[in-house]
Amino acid sequence: SKNLPKGSLGFPLIGETISFLRAHKKEQGAEWINERVAKYGPIFKTSVMGTPTVIIVGVAGNKFVLGSSDVVFATNRPKRISALQGKYNIFELSGSRYRLVKRAMLSFLQPESLQNYVKRMDELVTTSLLKEIKQKDTIKIVNFMQKLTFSVACDILFDIKDEATKEAFFGDFRILFKALGSFPIKFPGSAYSRGLEARARISNRLLPILRKRKEELSTGVLSSTNDVVSCLLALKGENEESISEAEVVDNFSILLIASHDTTAILLSLVVWKLSRDKQIYTKVLQEQMDILRDREAATIEENLTWVDIQKMKYTWQVAQEMMRMIPPVFGTFRKALEDTNFGGYDIPKGWQVFTVAHGTHMEKDIFSSPMEFDPSRFDKSSKPIPPYAYIPFGAGLHSCIGNEFARIETLTTIHKLVTKFEWSPVYPDETITRKAVPYPSMGLPIKIKPRIQT
């Protein structure tokens, strides 16, 4: 007989979902997990939306879940999620199909290619900021960052530059996000149904763009490296077959989903931190002002370059430390494709496993004084962090392929914000809440004005 992990599967179907979501909303998701770790140990069972789930906390557990091959664990999401995200998106693929789509995405997202987009990133960030403060002297950072990261992804990843098209996509993706965090009940007007409708609109809006690209690719007007949609369209499978339109639509959608809120959260959290920690702010400002001064002295190129990004070491350490204490992605699901076991417990085929980023990020044997905000942990001279201990971007086969993109975007935006503007928080006591994902509770309004150059 099986030795299942301890824990409670809760009420049938709804399981412990409600109690978890309630804790999560109050930014007590980590406490909810800790309570159960204290009671049952670092491996325990629960039930999420009707699926039995084993939650595993710790470095060895992270390695077991994230480091396993996709023969043991799949990234497939339950039907209620894949209905919204598309059944051919990269998380639903495995084997050669997965590798094919990932290669196309990586050909665009690897640092060697992204270097060429720093200038464009800078232009987009600068125009958005200037446009926003032209209209008002108080801006809501959360909303601003959501619009910015979406606009940057549309422009750079997909070469979609038309404002009206971007805005229409943006509206529908926000509806889709709400649906992903809602109960999957279908009735007119429910968040879930609205999500399904938004998904259909996204697809209908992308198809004509995609067909035009296809034509331009075939006539040679467009190169297959122009953008990620073109990279995907140029793909050939094992038998030289092209990838279907549905596959392109689904992977376009998943890249916008994966890149948009995650980066907006990171940027909002960094601005939140900088606007209430004078010491950290001063060090970031100094690093960024030095870079600005060097640029102005050299007067070669108006925009930031790849070399400048590499100099922003301390600023990136601040972002890394922010993601240690408040990881934008709370944890990661996998589905067991076969019976397996860990730490003496059996995990039956079909069950879900879940790793929690917080678990290891707050372990005092890995990060001394874990409650202290200390960017120097990520300094080269500090004690190295063991593999699978720091996982804001995941780990193993499915680790984030957009981390460089997120880094360039974050650093460019912070550079502009601190060197070109002066700002202060409207609510100095504003806290972080987590409805589904961690954001400042009031949307982080700041008073902002152009910096007077001295």
Q: Which of residues 142-171 bind ligand HEM (CB under 6 A)?
A: none
Half-sphere exposure of 175 (CA within 13 A, CB side): 20
The verdict on 402 binding ligand HEM (CB under 6 A) reads: yes
H-assigned helices in 77-162: 79-85, 95-109, 111-114, 118-135, 141-152, 158
CA–CA distance, 59 with 385 (Å, rounded to integer): 11
How many residues interact with ligand HEM (rule CB under 6 A)? 25
Question: Which of 272, 269, 275, 253 lies closest to 392 in space, CA to CA?
Answer: 269
Q: Which of residues 252-291 bind ligand HEM (CB under 6 A)?
A: 255, 258-259, 262-263, 266
The verdict on 248 binding ligand HEM (CB under 6 A) reads: no
Q: Where does residue 439 fall: left (phi above 0), alpha (psi -120 to 50 degrees), or beta otherwise?
A: beta
The verdict on 90 binding ligand HEM (CB under 6 A) reads: yes
The verdict on 405 binding ligand HEM (CB under 6 A) reads: yes
From the list 170-178, 235-243, 251-259, 370-378, the region that binds ligand HEM by CB under 6 A is: 251-259
Four-residue CA torsion sign, 16, 19, 25, 31 = negative
Q: Where does residue 359 fall: left (phi above 0), alpha (psi -120 to 50 degrees), or beta otherwise?
A: alpha
Cβ nearer to ligand HEM, comparing 332 with 352: 332
Cβ nearer to ligand HEM, comparing 401 with 414: 401
Structure tokens at 199: 């998904």
Of the candidates 392, 425, 438, 445, which one interacts with ligand HEM according to CB under 6 A? 392
Position closest to ligand HEM via CB: 402
From the list 112-120, 132-140, 325-333, 417-425, the region that binds ligand HEM by CB under 6 A is: 325-333
Question: Which of 189, 176, 174, 198 lies closest to 81 in space, CA to CA?
Answer: 176
CA–CA distance, 67 with 73 (Å, rounded to integer): 10
Cβ nearer to ligand HEM, comparing 77 with 295: 77
The verdict on 62 binding ligand HEM (CB under 6 A) reads: no
CA–CA distance, 316 with 325 (Å, rounded to integer): 14
Cβ nearer to ligand HEM, comparing 340 with 352: 352
Known binding residues for heme are 400
Determine contact, residues 212/233, Cβ cutoff 8 Å.
no
Cβ nearer to ligand HEM, comparing 61 with 392: 392
Contact positions vs ligand HEM (CB under 6 A): 75, 90-91, 102, 105, 109, 255, 258-259, 262-263, 266, 328-329, 332, 392-394, 398-402, 405-406
